[in-house]
Structure 1
């Protein structure tokens, strides 16, 4: 099998999960490969995602590692042998790799939970709002780069429009709702879009009002992507220096608690729509 020139975050995650499984079994790379007629170098290349791995090989490795968690094995098998390139691959070498990893993560998630204090959810943004946000990037982006990022952001939203759409919960602070990115008219259309989207059964928008109690979080955007099994959950953090993906068990547990606590201080869905509607009305003027 040819060596990959680059691996996606999903491919790297598969290799990392196979390594965890081997380490839990107490096997070295050499010991892991011996029953399969595979040498230590091949096991290391699979771990590093330099080589692809077939479904049969994943099942064989699972048996060799004495893993009895069939749900986990089946989920890992589902991550192998994907020959079809995702739509995000058309942006490779055009956009930062972290943006491609984010689109791939959202595409494969079985549910999404997100929290935003200073920004509106990317999956609920209008093109004109997104365009204004990208115009504020430092250092400045060229007009073609801005349009590439806008089109990528809008295509990510397909997970909410599919025949079997991904359940999505977005917790948004009132501060983000009141920022007039692009002016009052653009902001008004953006808020109306969020209101319209929140009427869908699979989309849940919760607002944290200004008068809410204190809540955890440093202000960075958080996306929690639920995997087919809990071991394959992933947290995506959007920072000023780029995307960060977290998947250690302790990290996942921490962010589940953070999101749970944010939901306890957020308004219910009806109250949240009332706040969004009130902010939108204020933009219309007297």
Structure 2
């Protein structure tokens, strides 16, 4: 089978991890080629995510690289033998590869942390809000409704996560998306989702002033081993998946700082009289009042 021309993010990440392990073990491409009975070009394709590694070959590589038994070893083996098929495949004809890669990454995550400065996170959007956001970009697109459904289908992962934590800037709640009724329903949705025990929603208010990271949208995806945690950043016309441990750690600290500066999380279970004077729920209730 010829090398694939467009590997998925999972395939690229696996190849990158194998290359890092090989370099750490100080083995050359020729050394590895001899180990798996292949030529040097195949090793290059493996490390670029363009070809797969048979189970026995993957086991040999990890052993030769000194990767010890444990969560990291198991996770790499699982990534290598994951068929990469999922519900997102049915959208392959209308969505870019990065959107499908994001859905696959979400499906593999155990916990997700999201910072959004100007929009409600996709995982928490109502259908009407999502439709209005997407329509503002390309309202005449023939596949608009499938794009909306894809965003809603992504939300099913909320049921499988051990934790979901969103820090949303107040501007995202005040920017009018669609009609007042759409915004009101969306704000109520935030409170509704926050009722889930593993979901944390915080609002970063204007009054806390400027803090450099709050101008950028980013997500942190965590799994069974921190070596494979991923930072996802969106740009106006592109997106990037970052697996570098130092960058992930940097954004982990940024998120913790944002969370510490944001208002206390929404706690819908608390009685109204127990709510703090300045917490996330109080701010949302104030905005709901303004939308009457």
| TM class by smaller structure | over 0.9
Q: Distance in 2 between matches of 1:99 and 1:141?
A: 18
- Give 1:112 deviation, angstroms: 0.1
- Give 1:148 deviation, angstroms: 2.2
Q: Equivalent of 2:220, from 205, 224, 229?
A: 224
CA RMSD of aligned residues (A): 1.7
- Give 1:218 deviation, angstroms: 5.5
Q: State the match for 2:148 in structure 1.
A: 150
| More off after superposition, 183-192 vs 92-101 | 92-101
Q: State the match for 2:247 in structure 1.
A: 251
Check 1:254–1:107 CA distance in 2 against 1; reply closer, same or farther (3 A cut). same
Whether contact under 8 Å (2:169, 2:214) holds in the other structure is no
- Give 1:174 deviation, angstroms: 1.0
Task: Give CA-to-partner distance per residue, 1:180-215, whole Å, 9 cap, x none.
Answer: 211111100010011100111011001111111432
Whether contact under 8 Å (1:215, 1:265) holds in the other structure is no
Check 1:111–1:55 CA distance in 2 against 1; reply closer, same or farther (3 A cut). farther
- Give 1:5 deviation, angstroms: 4.7
Structure 2: runs of 5+ lacking an equivalent: 268-278
Check 1:35–1:242 CA distance in 2 against 1; reply closer, same or farther (3 A cut). closer
TM-score between both structures, scaled by the size of structure 1: 0.92
Q: Secondary structure at the match of 1:244?
A: strand
Check 1:166–1:150 CA distance in 2 against 1; reply closer, same or farther (3 A cut). farther
- Give 1:38 deviation, angstroms: 2.7
Q: Secondary structure at the match of 1:79?
A: helix
Task: Give CA-to-partner distance per residue, 1:222-274, whole Å, 9 cap, x none.
Answer: 11111221111111111101211111122112111110110110111142122
Pairs within 5 Å for 1:265-276: 265-269=261-265, 270=267, 271-276=279-284
Q: Distance in 2 between matches of 1:68 and 1:100?
A: 32
Pairs within 5 Å for 1:192-211: 192-211=188-207
Q: State the match for 1:30 in structure 2.
A: 30
Q: Secondary structure at the match of 1:49?
A: coil
- Give 1:144 deviation, angstroms: 2.2
- Give 1:29 deviation, angstroms: 0.8
The answer to whether structure 1 residue 175 and structure 2 residue 175 are counterparts is no
Whether contact under 8 Å (1:59, 1:73) holds in the other structure is no
Runs of 4+ in 1 over 4 A off after TM superposition: none
- Give 1:47 deviation, angstroms: 1.1
Q: Distance in 2 between matches of 1:176 and 1:47?
A: 40
- Give 1:165 deviation, angstroms: 3.3
